Amino acid sequence: MDSFLIEGGVPLKGTISVSGSKNAALPIIMAAIAVDGDVTYTNVPDLRDVKTTIKLLNILGRESAFENGAVTVKNGEMSIEAPYDLVKTMRASVLCLGPLLARKREAKVSLPGGCAIGARPVDQHLAALEKMGAKFDLEHGYIHGRCPEGLKGAHIRFDFPTVGGTENVLMAACLAEGETVLENVAREPEIVDLANFLNACGAQIEGQGSTVIRVQGVERLHGCEYSVMPDRIEAGTFLIAAGVTGGELLLKNCPIGDMSAVVDKLRSAGMVIEETDEGVLARCGENGLKAVKVNTRPHPGFPTDMQAQFMVLMCCAEGGSLMEENIFENRFMHVQELVRMGADIHVTGSSAMVSGGAKLMGAPVMASDLRAGAALVLAGLAAEGETRVQRIYHVDRGYEHLVEKLSAAGAKIRRIKEED
C-alpha cells in the first residue's frame, strides 16, 4: 500500500495542466449503456474510478478500453447485472441503473456499500424511476428493476437537488416514451456536460444548468466522439496549493467559468486569481491570507468537494473562520488529522471553527476519503518538516498524476511503499 512523503515549506512555482473531470467522466462513460453505437471519449483522466467504470462496462457486455486519455466503448449485446464486487468500490456504479432500464427494460444492480434502499443515495433515484413505470425489488443485496413495457415520460420533482439522482434519471429519460420534466434538479457543470454528451448522441434535452430540465424521449441514441470537461475540483485544489505554499501557479485548461463560488472565496481570502492568455494565474496577495466564512451548498454555491482543501487555506490565514458543511454528514473526518499537524480547529455538529495562524508541522497522517486526502497533501506542502500521508488510494480516485504535477512545480513529494 502506497503513501505520499512530503517535505513541506517549498513555494510552488510553475505550470500545471488540469485533467478531465472525474465527476463528469464517470456518468458520461456510463451513459454509453444507453447508446446504440460505438463511443469515443477524450480528455478522460487516468484514475481508479475510470478503470472501475470500464471494468463494469466490460462485464455488462460493452467492450471498453482506456489508452492515452481516451476511452473507447464498442457496441454489443449487454447483460443486466452490475455485481457487488465492483459496485462496493465505487458508489457511482449505481448510475448504470437508469440507462440499463431504458435500454434493456431490466436491471440488477448491487446496492452501494452501506446503503439501505430507503436511504441516500438511491432513494430519490428509485422514486423517480418508479414514476416512469419501473418496479423495484430488493433481492439478496441487489436492486432488481423491471419495466416490461418500457419507461414512460413523467413529471418528477426531486426532494433535494441530488447529483446522482439527476444523472440517473436524465439518462433514463432520453429513451423513455414522451416528455419527462425534472424539477429541483442538481445544476452542477458535470450534469450540463452529461446532457451535452447525450444531445451529441441524438437526445433532446433542454434546461441543463437550470432547476428544470425537459427531455423529449427518442427511439435510439447514436454513437459519437466527445471530450470531457476539465476538472473544477482538481483546479480548485491547485489554486489553493499556490496559496498555502506562498507560491505562484499557472493553470492550463482551468474551467474558471464553472468555479465562481470557489474563486470568489479565494479572492476574499486574499489570493490573486487572474485570467491570462496562457491560463489562470494564482498567487497570494501582498497582504497575505485572511479568514473568510464558508458554507457548502449545491451548485452554484460553494462545493462540498472543496471544503476540506479550503480548510487548509484557512489554517494558514490570519483570523478565525467558520466553515459550515450543509451537504454531507461526516465530512469533517480530516479535522483530527490536521489537528495532529498543529491546526487549531474545533468542530460542533456541522460547523468547524478554524483559528488561523498556527504553524503547521509535518506528521504522519491518514486519508479517510478523497477530498480529505487532498487536504492532507496541501497541509503537507504548507507544513514545516516531513509529512507522510497514508491510505492514498483515496486520493488516487480523483487526482491524475498528482505527484508528477506537483513535482514539476517544485514540490518535494514522492510516492513510497508503506514498508519502505
3-state secondary structure of 142: strand
What's the distance, CA 178 to chain centroid? 31
Coil, strand or helix at 196: helix
Residues 15, 263: Cα–Cα separation, whole Å: 18
Mention every residue, 6+ apart, whose C-beta is less than 8 A from residue 318. 288, 289, 290, 291, 356, 357
- DSSP per residue, 320-374: EEEEE--S-TTTTTTHHHHHHTT-EEEEETTEEEEETTPPPB--EEE--SHHHHH
Assign 152 to helix, strand or coil: strand
316 tagged catalytic: no
* Residue 114, C-beta contacts closer than 8 angstroms, at least 6 positions apart: none
Residue 336 corresponds to which cell in the numbers above? 483530527
Catalytic residue among 96, 115, 201, 316: 115
Residue 267: enclosing H or E segment and its boundaries?
helix 260-268
Q: How many Å apart are CA 382 and CA 168, to the nearest integer?
A: 39
Q: Residue 97 is inside which H or E element, if any?
A: helix 97-104
Evaluate the CA torsion angle 26, 31, 33, 39 in order and state its sign. Answer: negative
How many angstroms from the chain centroid is the CA of residue 220? Answer: 28
Q: Is 82 helix (H, G, I), strand (E, B) or coil?
A: strand
- Provide the pairing of β-strand 13-17 with 320-324: unpaired
Measure CA of the first residue to CA of the last residue in the chain; give whole Å: 10
C-alpha cell at 23: 465527476
In the β-sheet with 344-348, what is the strand arrangement from edge to edge? 294-295, 320-324, 351-355, 344-348
3-class DSSP state for residue 14? strand
Sign of the CA dihedral running 286, 410, 45, 42: positive
The conformation of residue 17, written as its DSSP 8-state character, comes to E
Catalytically active residues, by annotation: 115
